[in-house]
């Protein structure tokens, strides 16, 4: 098996927590992982991307080649489109629909959605709203991870365990909230893919 | 033992700790910062009381590490590529005096300049100093090389450079640890003149260093990190350096590579292995992350030898980071093409955080500077460099750590009035203080703004060496205390700030204005940690 994921967002949105959770799940599954992150200047509100590669075989490159990504997982709609050249023909684009507007020339959000809807395989989800309904908007990244889960080759139980492990020190309530966020995202994708 | 998921920088940190480290010395700089941060949080490092506080700059860090090596213990000094420019004096001469306890200098280069002002290749420094250089291709090698680097250093009597680039620094993978080694015991060099570079001694030491070179090449040829992988198709031989190996091999995932491959991860360049490739291959492609160091070395000046391809002949781009796609192109392999980026997508450059004190300073400065005209504000390296971008566009320079004060002085010497410097608190103590002394000694008419957010912020909010000391440093260097002014950069203080800025710019002499408000990110982190 092999799953190549482009994780996208804006510096400060916390895409690395998604990567860490998936990494934990993959490691527990004895899979090989390479995950390249963006640190430094771009973390100040710039575009950030992480290349996450999971495989049962040895992984060569830390970067995913163009046209090879199985999933683009983006916590921001315009950012999801920035990495389209990486998406394979059969790949899924999974994106949050809440715009993060910190630049004066941010495009009309409807025009962004138009481009997303043109894709053959996509899931567009209001992760912020779903997280709020569950109890905390900050869990929206776990909603996003849940929404991408059906398109990975990792069993959903393993991802659930990854969430437990990541939030272990924060107590039962936080674990529970994030698990419910994960499951809500997962259900949404199953119904809307 | 289960593998640990570590960033390349974390693997180096863990490898050094497990390899018997006694002290890490560093100044923060992307992409090297997390090496020291990891050791600061490490339990074993705490148990052993390994030195792990930040240094004021890379030069002090390097010299302190050299002092620890003198005393027989193992030290690692970490910096970004341009940091080695700051430490270059210590670095070059440490190669001549040699070491006692193992000394590793870890330098993290930043090709494509993700967070840097240039993309210089530190392997050239390694070659310049004539010391062994290790360049891992993956996280496991990064761990192993830090762990074994001390032994290589002690065996060769030389500092060892561990060179990584941004991609490996900030990429995570599973790493298997080795047995934890004891620290070295305290001991001083048997030869009391080993570290004395008086010319007469230095000439001898330099000849020793020259004599050592054949042995270093032999070690490279025999190194387990350098590997000659045979191939059946000899129309091309491929030399890969460091992480270039991965980008090459990615193109042969699930199939075998037809060409002989020389994977180089230890320098000096293993000459017997390179000659073997030259003997058996018609042409050679060199894939290296950074400048074309190996390519230049093996390319025949008169163009009569084996054709060599790489960054110099356009097979690969001359600048920037490599990736599997660029390497595929160099190999004439066909590429799958994903969809192009829709036109609706616009750039999203980094920006100052909303509510950051630097925003208030630049808003006031732009208002005040309207009276004088553009092009008079020299700046420095830090978050406030973003003041060069819209909506501020306040500053007209960013060259190297500390250059704001000295460039403002030079421009003032040339007759530019007013001439203004903008520098951050920790950049000031890193390299601004000596420039301030020049300014004070000549009573040059400049105004220096030391933007004090009480933190090294761009690299993630590390402790600033300047904390609580800026006024006393400026006064101690000789700035008239009446012209050391502190303001709190907040919207409500706009008028007061504008008045003080004007007063000090109009003052004919050295003045220092210190806008002081804690970095928002650091404050948020501090509050989170308190909970």
Query: For position A43, what pLDDT does the model report?
Result: 75
- What's the rounded mean pLDDT across residues B516-522? 95
For tokens 């998406």, what's the residue?
A87
Query: What tens digit of pLDDT does each residue of B299-325 get?
Result: 988 888 999 999 999 999 999 999 999
Query: For position B421, what pLDDT does the model report?
Result: 98
Q: With 80 as the cut, is the pLDDT of residue B2 above it?
A: no
**pLDDT band with cut points at 50, 70 and 90 for residue B280:** very high
Q: With 90 as the cut, is the pLDDT of residue B482 above it?
A: yes
Domains of chain B: 4-222 (3.40.50.970), 227-330 (3.40.50.920), 357-525 (3.40.50.970)
* Helical axes A172-192 vs A127-134, angle rounded to 10°: 140
Q: With 80 as the cut, is the pLDDT of residue A31 above it?
A: yes
Q: CA–CA distance from B89 to each of A79, A181, B59 (Å)?
A: 44, 55, 8
Give B-chain residues touching A105 at CB under 8 angstroms: 346
- What's the rounded mean pLDDT across residues B165-170? 97
Query: What tens digit of pLDDT does each residue of B77-100 get?
Result: 999 999 999 999 999 999 999 999
CB B494 within 8 A of CB B524: no
Which of A163-172, B186-195, B228-237 is the least confident region?
A163-172
CA B416 to chain centre: 33
**Token pair in block for residue B485:** 């002014």
**pLDDT band with cut points at 50, 70 and 90 for residue B152:** very high
pLDDT cut 90: percent of chain B above it: 94
Query: For position A40, what pLDDT does the model report?
Result: 75
Cα(B169)–Cα(B109) distance, rounded to whole angstroms? 9
Cα(B146)–Cα(B19) distance, rounded to whole angstroms? 7
- Say yes or no for a CB contact (<8 Å) between A40 and B324: no
Query: What tens digit of pLDDT does each residue of B352-384 get?
Result: 999 999 999 999 999 999 999 999 999 999 999
Query: For position B528, what pLDDT does the model report?
Result: 84
The C-alpha of B442 sits at a distance from chain A's nearest C-alpha, in angstroms, of 36
Query: For position B334, what pLDDT does the model report?
Result: 79
The closest CB to that of B353, out of A37, A45, A57, belongs to A45
- What's the rounded mean pLDDT across residues B233-262? 97
Query: For position B454, what pLDDT does the model report?
Result: 97
Instruction: Give me chain B's average pLDDT, please.
Output: 96
Query: For position A29, what pLDDT does the model report?
Result: 87
- Say yes or no for a CB contact (<8 Å) between B170 and A45: no
- Say yes or no for a CB contact (<8 Å) between B350 and A66: no
- What's the rounded mean pLDDT across residues B456-479? 96
Query: What tens digit of pLDDT does each residue of A32-54 get?
Result: 999 998 887 777 889 999 999 99
Give A-chain residues touching B348 at CB under 8 angstroms: 10, 45-47, 78-79, 102-103
Query: For position A24, what pLDDT does the model report?
Result: 86
Query: For position B272, what pLDDT does the model report?
Result: 98
Q: With 90 as the cut, is the pLDDT of residue B215 above it?
A: yes
| Higher pLDDT pick, A16 / B246 | B246
Q: What angle do CA A145, A167, B52 make, to 5 degrees?
A: 110
Q: With 80 as the cut, is the pLDDT of residue B404 above it?
A: yes
**pLDDT band with cut points at 50, 70 and 90 for residue B531:** low
- Say yes or no for a CB contact (<8 Å) between B341 and A43: no
Query: For position B530, what pLDDT does the model report?
Result: 78
**pLDDT band with cut points at 50, 70 and 90 for residue B67:** very high
Beta strand extents in B4-51 (DSSP E only): 4-7, 21-26
Query: What tens digit of pLDDT does each residue of B324-351 get?
Result: 999 999 999 977 778 999 999 999 988 8
Q: With 70 as the cut, is the pLDDT of residue A74 above it?
A: yes
**pLDDT band with cut points at 50, 70 and 90 for residue A14:** confident
Residue among B8, B136, B344 with most chain A CBs within 10 A, to mutate? B344
CA dihedral B87, B90, B93, B95 (to 10 degrees): -70
The C-alpha of B12 sits at a distance from chain A's nearest C-alpha, in angstroms, of 16
Q: CA–CA distance from A10 to each of A13, A37, A49, B127, B333 (Å)?
A: 6, 12, 8, 39, 33
Cross-strand pairs, A6: A51, A72
Give A-chain residues touching B323 at CB under 8 angstroms: 61, 63, 65
- What's the rounded mean pLDDT across residues B499-527? 96
ipTM (interface predicted TM)? 0.93
Cα(B276)–Cα(B293) distance, rounded to whole angstroms? 19
**pLDDT band with cut points at 50, 70 and 90 for residue B410:** very high
User: Which CATH fold would you assign to the domain A2-100+121-192?
Assistant: Pyruvate-ferredoxin Oxidoreductase; domain 3 (3.40.920)
- Say yes or no for a CB contact (<8 Å) between A40 and B337: no
Q: CA–CA distance from B319 to each of A19, B116, B246 (Å)?
A: 30, 14, 19
Give A-chain residues touching B383 at CB under 8 angstroms: 44
Q: With 80 as the cut, is the pLDDT of residue B1 above it?
A: no
């Amino acid at each position: 098996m092999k799953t190549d994921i482009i994780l996208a967002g804006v510096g400060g949105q916390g895409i690395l927590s998604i990567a860490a959770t998936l990494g934990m799940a993959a490691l527990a599954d004895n899979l090989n992982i390479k995950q390249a992150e963006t640190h430094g200047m771009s973390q100040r509100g710039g575009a950030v991307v992480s290349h996450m590669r999971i495989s049962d075989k040895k992984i060569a490159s830390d970067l995913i080649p163009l046209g090879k990504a199985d999933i683009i997982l983006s916590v921001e709609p315009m950012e999801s489109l920035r990495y389209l050249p990486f998406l394979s023909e059969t790949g899924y684009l999974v994106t949050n629909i809440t715009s993060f507007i910190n630049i004066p020339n941010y495009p009309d959000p409807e025009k962004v959605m138009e481009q997303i809807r043109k894709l053959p395989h996509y899931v567009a989800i209001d992760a912020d709203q779903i997280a709020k309904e569950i109890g905390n908007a900050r869990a929206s990244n776990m909603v996003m991870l849940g929404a991408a889960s059906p398109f990975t080759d990792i069993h959903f139980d393993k991802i659930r365990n990854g969430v437990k492990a990541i939030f272990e020190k924060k107590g039962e309530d936080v674990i529970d909230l994030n698990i419910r966020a994960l499951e809500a995202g997962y259900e949404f994708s199953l119904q809307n893919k | 033992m289960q593998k640990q998921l570590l960033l390349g920088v974390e693997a180096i940190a863990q490898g050094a700790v497990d390899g018997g480290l006694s002290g890490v010395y560093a100044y923060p700089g992307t992409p090297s910062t997390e090496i020291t941060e990891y050791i600061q949080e490490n339990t074993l490092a705490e148990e052993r009381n390994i030195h792990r506080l930040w240094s004021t700059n890379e030069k002090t860090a390097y010299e302190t590490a050299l002092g620890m090596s003198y005393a027989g213990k193992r030290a690692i000094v970490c910096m970004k590529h341009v940091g080695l420019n700051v430490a270059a004096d210590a670095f070059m001469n440490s190669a001549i005096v040699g070491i006692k306890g193992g000394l590793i200098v870890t330098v993290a280069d930043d090709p494509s300049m993700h967070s840097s002002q240039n993309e210089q290749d530190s392997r050239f420094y390694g070659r310049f100093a004539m010391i062994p250089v290790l360049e891992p291709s993956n996280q496991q090698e990064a761990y192993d090389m830090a762990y074994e680097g001390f032994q290589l250093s002690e065996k060769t009597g030389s500092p060892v450079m561990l060179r990584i680039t941004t991609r490996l620094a900030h990429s995570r993978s599973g790493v298997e640890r080795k047995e934890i080694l004891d620290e070295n015991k305290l001991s001083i060099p048997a030869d009391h003149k080993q570290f004395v570079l008086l010319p007469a001694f230095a000439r001898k030491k330099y000849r020793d260093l020259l004599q050592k070179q054949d042995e270093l090449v032999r070690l490279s040829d025999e190194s387990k990190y350098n590997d000659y992988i045979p191939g059946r198709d000899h129309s091309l031989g491929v030399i890969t350096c460091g992480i270039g190996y991965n980008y090459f091999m990615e193109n042969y995932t699930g199939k075998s590579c037809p060409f002989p491959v020389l994977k180089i991860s230890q320098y000096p360049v293993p000459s017997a292995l390179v000659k073997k490739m030259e003997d058996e291959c018609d042409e050679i492609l060199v894939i290296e992350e950074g400048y074309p160091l190996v390519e230049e070395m093996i390319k025949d000046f008169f163009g009569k030898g084996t054709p060599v391809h790489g960054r110099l002949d356009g097979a690969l781009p001359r600048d920037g980071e490599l990736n599997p796609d660029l390497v595929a192109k160099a190999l004439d392999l066909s590429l799958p093409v994903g969809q192009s980026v829709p036109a609706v997508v616009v750039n999203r450059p980094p920006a100052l955080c909303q509510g950051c004190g630097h925003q208030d300073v630049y808003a006031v400065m732009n208002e005040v500077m309207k009276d004088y005209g553009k092009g008079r504000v020299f700046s420095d390296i830090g978050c406030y460099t973003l003041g060069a971008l819209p909506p501020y566009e306040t500053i007209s320079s960013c060259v190297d750590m500390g250059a704001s004060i000295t460039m403002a002085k030079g421009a003032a010497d040339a007759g530019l009035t007013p001439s203004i410097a903008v520098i951050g608190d920790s950049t000031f103590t890193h390299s601004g203080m000596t420039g301030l002394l020049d300014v004070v000694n000549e009573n040059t008419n400049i105004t220096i703004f030391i933007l004090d957010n009480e933190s090294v912020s761009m690299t993630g909010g590390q402790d600033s060496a300047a904390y609580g000391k800026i006024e006393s440093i400026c006064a101690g260097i000789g700035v008239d205390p009446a012209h050391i002014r502190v303001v709190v950069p907040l919207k409500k203080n706009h008028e007061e700030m504008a008045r003080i800025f004007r007063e000090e710019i109009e003052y004919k002499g050295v003045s220092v204005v210190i806008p002081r408000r804690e970095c928002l990110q650091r404050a948020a982190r501090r509050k989170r940690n308190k909970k």
